[in-house]
Amino acid sequence: MEILKVEHLVKQYGKGDNAVLAVNDISFSVEQGEFVAIVGSSGSGKSTLLHLLGGVDRPTSGKVYIQGEDIYSLNSDKIAIFRRRQVGLIYQFYNLIPILNVKENITLPCDGRTPDKSELDELINTLGLKDRVTHLPNELSGGQQQRVSIGRALINHPAILLADEPTGNLDSRSSDEIVELLKLSNQKYKQTIVMITHNLEIAKIADRILRIEDGRLV
């Protein structure tokens, strides 16, 4: 089953002489349970593309379907709700809420609903955070903070997990752990993942690698 479908996606920044086609007519699709890496040099359009896939930014033209839903046909409020429920986002710099502890950060996208306790405990165990649940982000290592952000991204069983350079700020040991966890979530929860990286070694763990240059898939 197709989880993500992108059709003739274009994102232009600026106008006239300053115009930049950050994403220039990109089309592809991702099947349920696939792990796709997007590689490309700095400035090639990777982050712009990922933001468009996740409903974070509107395209200039083109369509993004997630589970058949044409997300940019929705108004901004509906896109925000759709994103919270159906898209898990992982960033290079974790983007955790500093005043919330590990458990509170992980359950943040639940919108006040209490997640199933055994499921939450299992997720926290899998992430290796059992002894850190009441710690604040600034009491954690970078690798631990990224594990919290993976938990936050997975808690709602999103249709798709989008990761933007998830190991970009980590040493090689922590990078390996994070990559292993992403692979595990792909295998254990059949989680569909699209991951941006400029690191070809890391990209190799994906089922498929897409390369982007100057806003185009090559």
Q: Which is nearer to ligand ADP, 52 or 140 (CB)?
A: 52
Among 24, 47, 86, 149, binds ligand ADP (CB under 6 A): 47
Closest CA relative to residue 49, chosen from 140, 177, 189, 164: 164
Tell me if 45 contacts ligand ADP by CB under 6 A: yes
**Cβ atoms of residues 47 and 54 within 8 Å:** no
**Cβ atoms of residues 50 and 28 within 8 Å:** no
**Cβ atoms of residues 193 and 2 within 8 Å:** no
Tell me if 43 contacts ligand ADP by CB under 6 A: yes
What is the torsional sign of CA 18, 44, 82, 85?
A: negative
Among 13, 70, 188, 201, binds ligand ADP (CB under 6 A): 13
Segment interacting with ligand ADP (CB under 6 A) among 41-49, 64-72, 93-101, 177-185:
41-49
Tell me if 105 contacts ligand ADP by CB under 6 A: no
Residues of the shown chain interacting with ligand ADP in the complex, contacts defined by CB under 6 A? 13-14, 20, 22, 40, 42-48
